[in-house]
Amino acid sequence: MKNAIRVVIALSGGVDSAVTALFLSHCVHTSHDIAALQAESTAPPPLATVLDAIHTSTPWSVVAKAKSSQQIDFPVPVAYRSVHMRNWNDQDSNWCQTSVGEFNDAQDVAHSLGLLPTERRLTVLDFSAEYAERCFQPMLQSYQKGRTLNVDVLCNSEIKFGALLERVRRPPYSADYIATGHYARVVRRHGLAQLASPFSALKDLNDQTVFLSRVPSFAAALFPLGHLFHSKEEVRRAAAECGGPVLQRLASKKTSTGLCFVGKVREKGAAVSTCSAVSATPTFATFLSEYIAPPSTVGAKRCRFFMLERDEEIKRQHLKWGRSSDGAERELFEKDYGVGCIPSFALTVGQRVVWEEVIGKKRRVHTCYVAKKVPHDDEEVGEVALLKEVYLAPTWNHPSFYTTTIAVTSVHLHVPIGALDVKEHDQYKTLSCYCVCRHQDARVPCELQWRVSAETSGREIEKATVLVQVPLRAVAPGQLAVLYASADLVSSVVWGSGWIA
């Protein structure tokens, strides 16, 4: 029998990971408590029950009164260690002035909860090189081609449950689990650890299953928040009422989002130099311009803009986008790329664009949306694609935005194909499920279709097609199509996902 189950808690410095550590250190003492936490349930316990359990350090198996096959065995004690991850180098960067504060907050949490002696410094595991190579550079390469890749998906699969998991499975940690502050659940069905939406998804849309859907396995994942709370507000209440002065301070801390934590990224130890001064305008496209260099030849490949249904070209000087209201972002890009030249990452499908139509001495302002991007097809390998044509739609819900057919590649299934209700046809197979292509969107019924020859393993499909019953808007290449077992947020699990081609 094992002497202890070892759990590493990844402390980010935010309230979510702090409350995760608070609950685990107070209520999860043995293997029985872990089994009780991950037991099937149709609703989280009342908040008062959770708060009382934390106050009294009551074992969760006692609170939940859960019975499992594991409880016929003697309980194995749980031992905790805490770490802080660094995915960037920010010594020379103006992008992330908060990382020192995040570390200090994480260390304060570890000290206040007794996870770390007060005289010891919290261990920092540096994955800057891995993050640059496995996440940031692939994101840049995707945007160079005009594709919309969410780097948070790669961070979860490649770093938190990739490089970090690999590191802590080895001595001196020898971890059995990693615990994080994600809003998701791990439920065990048919001998498999499967990803399910958090109970908070029913109330405040805090559901991170889209971002976790590419994680290869959840056997070593603990996501307490998803099992315990109805909402983010309840998590903050737990910090304020049960966590002492440190967690009380974090209870009101603003949630961090996006790429604010990325500084001067280093690839394999070398700094990735910035390329432009465009970033004076703080939008994501201008942020990308710091790391994506203009092509070797600029100025010759101009972009033309057209309005759908009117069959007319629009002068670029009359278009504005980004946070600026005076066309400054377009002009800034033209300084780097040449007059009339627009990089593929400067505009995304569905993005709002303002068109000032000039009719004689009058001006009419129209709100338009990017419906289609056509790049020049002769760019050099490894260089950013420049746009040849951009088609604008006059309304947000223009029919051109909607599709019912989505091509996907590199489909990864969390459940073996043989264990799913797959229908076999002559040369292809189909699976009825539900699909989401954007975080917080509603799940829609769909059918996954693939040729038998596209199966590369029992859980991997090289390419497939998702046929949705409800048309989806502005589906963009590089996003994920995430497949769920049903539309029910409580009982359904994630079956898999594929990259939109």
Among 27, 135, 242, 260, which one carries the catalytic annotation?
260
Nearest to 487, CA basis, from 428, 438, 424, 442: 442
The tokens for 373 are 């991007």
The tokens for 269 are 């130890």
For residue 155, indicate whether it is catalytic.
yes
For residue 96, indicate whether it is catalytic.
no
Report whether 100 contacts 91 (CB < 8 A): no
Nearest to 374, CA basis, from 288, 309, 306, 284: 306
CB atoms within 10 A of CB 429: 19
282 CB contacts (<8 Å, ≥6 apart)? 323
Q: What are phi and psi of 423, to 5 degrees?
A: -95, 130
Among 135, 155, 433, 446, which one carries the catalytic annotation?
155
Is the preceding peptide bond at 343 cis, omega within 30 degrees of 0?
Answer: no
3-class DSSP assignment, residue 36: helix
Q: What is the DSSP letter of 215?
A: -
∠169-173-178 over CA atoms, to 5°? 60
C-alpha–C-alpha distance, residues 169 and 336, integer Å: 46
313 CB contacts (<8 Å, ≥6 apart)? 304, 305, 306
CB atoms within 10 A of CB 58: 16
Residue numbers annotated as active site: 155, 260
